[in-house]
Amino acid sequence: MIDVQRQADDRMIDIDKVGVKDIRYPITVLDRAKGQQRTVASVNMYVDLPHRYKGTHMSRFIEILSEYRHDISPQNLGRILEAMKRRLEAESAHMELTFPYFIEKLAPVSGTPSLMEYTCRFIGSLNDKGQDIMVEVRVPITTLCPCSKEISQYGAHNQRGEVRLSVRFVRFIWIEEIIRLVEESCSCEVFSLLKRSDEKHVTESAYDNPMFVEDVVREIARKIEADDNVTWFSVAAENFESIHKHSAYAFIERKRKPRLAEA
């Protein structure tokens, strides 16, 4: 049959990214506690397209995804990108996977277990300059306003917020490690299920540890700066304010030189 995609195009314009977007697909990712976790990802897959070709073969993206869906992890993303480049005869490949990830958490006092959902993302690119892999987590947090606590005779306003932390690294890094780092850097972490004794603990813990969004991103940055494994990070904190119409926001991005040899 005629390969229309490989027919010549006379407009002489290269395309930076062409491919498939927003594919809902079951995948299996590494789980630190259970070995593996099945979830459903929203997947974007792209390659470059030279000006001489009319189009790319979209079905090959799905074929590659199907082959690797049981082994999706930061350490395996490079192999998938290599397969994309090879099968689609491209110079560069790019892939994004966004998925819900669940961790069982115990309530702080009662010990009641429940599943907590976190949105995670793997982003990978491969071209003639090398491979670039990034992991991102979105973590719900609680913050209590230091100003409100200072000026009020009793009480202080608190709110739920979200931290978005992205990292590039040398060695493999667990999703759970990144999430835990964030949860230890706010007024109090968030739980799916709390009994009365747990609610008392959470509200009092937040009151004893007031933090602005500025405090949250600085605390996370301070901890990451002490980790030789991380070569780059960006961290954004957003408070969904309880007494204001607006949200409060802070952001830090840093590139670092690793002090350990690459594995």
Q: Which domains does the chain have, with CATH numbers?
A: 4-255 (3.10.270.10)
Q: What is the pLDDT of residue 262?
A: 47
Q: What is the pLDDT of residue 12?
A: 73
pLDDT tens for each residue of 45-84: 999 987 677 667 788 999 999 998 888 888 889 999 999 9
Q: Rounded to two decimals, what is the model's pTM? A: 0.89
pLDDT tens for each residue of 119-164: 999 999 999 999 999 999 999 999 999 999 999 999 899 999 999 9
Burial (CB count within 10 angstroms: exposed 0-12, middle 13-18, buried 19+), residue 12: exposed
Q: Please state, in angstroms and rounded to a whole number, the distance separating the CA atoms of residues 194 and 83.
A: 46
pLDDT tens for each residue of 75-110: 889 999 999 999 998 999 999 999 999 999 999 999
- The helix/strand/coil state of 73 is coil
Mean pLDDT for all residues in the chain: 91
Where residue 263 falls among pLDDT bands split at 50, 70, 90? very low
Q: Which of 107, 114, 113, 105 is nearest to 196 (CA)?
A: 107
Q: Please state, in angstroms and rounded to a whole number, the distance separating the CA atoms of residues 179 and 263.
A: 24
What average pLDDT score do residues 222-242 get?
A: 95
**Pairing, β 113-127 against β 130-144:** antiparallel
Where residue 13 falls among pLDDT bands split at 50, 70, 90? confident
